[in-house]
Amino acid sequence: MFTYKDHAVQTHDLLKVNPECLLDEATARGDAVPRWAEECVRQVSFAVVRRDLRRETCLPIGIRGYERSQRWATSCSRQALLHVIAPSQLLEVSADPSRVGEVPALQSLQILKTLWRDFDRPWGPGGSVGFELATGSRVANAESDLDIVIRAAKPITIEEAQFRCAQAKNLPAIVDIRVETPECGFSMKEYAREDRKEILLRTPNGPVLGSDPWHEQADMLNVANSFERAGN
């Protein structure tokens, strides 16, 4: 597990980084740094934790650019980290009122904070809304979905998932709810379906199918191996 100042850094966390240190590390590894990525690192100095295999001294991160297609996958050490922000911490950040009025995803977050005030799981915004709240950069737009990240160390019942999905319907923006367990991530909407048998589980080794995101580590490995054999 990668920790920073006693904080277990997890997928979807936002990181304030030291631009020079991060870029020097990339250069030392021989990574090709896109010009836009270098500009964004120097100007915004924030990255998001990716879902990937990680080591004790190296953390997989992604740098977002000015356009949707601009994403740079890289990694950083503890030496390049300055601060870690979990999605749940962003619930305490107030958006600019003028932005709330023009960005439906920000409006939806305001509504959801009221609807989910009794929700006792750590949760908060990810994606463009989370990035904007953390950095102040106006990256969300009128077409942006509201990405929500829920940390669920213990299982969520189907009934609870259905209830939370129902609360998130018919808001000004589409709400995409991602649940993160200690093993994997998955779509709450897919998990909440009555007719589901298996769902897509996003793991550090890649996507696999499974029915229980909390107790199927061995099964996920078996499915991953079957995918590899099918591809040969």
CB 15 within 8 A of CB 76: yes
Burial letters for 25-50: b for 16+ Cβ neighbours within 10 Å, e otherwise? bbeeeeeeeeeebbebbeebbbbbbb
Predicted model pTM:
0.90
Same domain, yes or no: 94 and 174: yes
Establish if 186 belongs to a structural domain: yes
Mean pLDDT of the chain: 91
Establish if 40 belongs to a structural domain: yes
Rounded CA-CA distance 44/46 in Å is 6
Same domain, yes or no: 91 and 192: yes
Establish if 220 belongs to a structural domain: no
Beta strands in 97-182 (DSSP E): 123-125, 146-151, 175-180
Same domain, yes or no: 22 and 115: no
Query: Residue 98 burial (CB < 10 Å; 0-12/13-18/19+)?
Result: exposed
Same domain, yes or no: 102 and 178: yes
Establish if 210 belongs to a structural domain: no
Same domain, yes or no: 100 and 31: no
Q: How do residues 12-69 score in pLDDT, each as one tens digit?
A: 999 999 999 999 999 999 999 999 999 999 999 999 999 987 777 889 999 999 888 8
Same domain, yes or no: 93 and 81: no
Range of the domain at 162: 87-196
Same domain, yes or no: 19 and 54: yes
Residue 92 has what DSSP assignment?
A: G
Same domain, yes or no: 79 and 104: no
Establish if 208 belongs to a structural domain: no
Read off the pLDDT band of 229 (50, 70, 90).
very low
Same domain, yes or no: 52 and 95: no
> What per-residue confidence (pLDDT) applies to 203?
93
Same domain, yes or no: 45 and 122: no
> What per-residue confidence (pLDDT) applies to 194?
87
Same domain, yes or no: 77 and 106: no
Same domain, yes or no: 182 and 110: yes
Establish if 207 belongs to a structural domain: no
> What per-residue confidence (pLDDT) applies to 2?
83
Establish if 76 belongs to a structural domain: yes
Total count of domains within the chain: 2
**Local structure of 215: helix, strand or coil:** coil
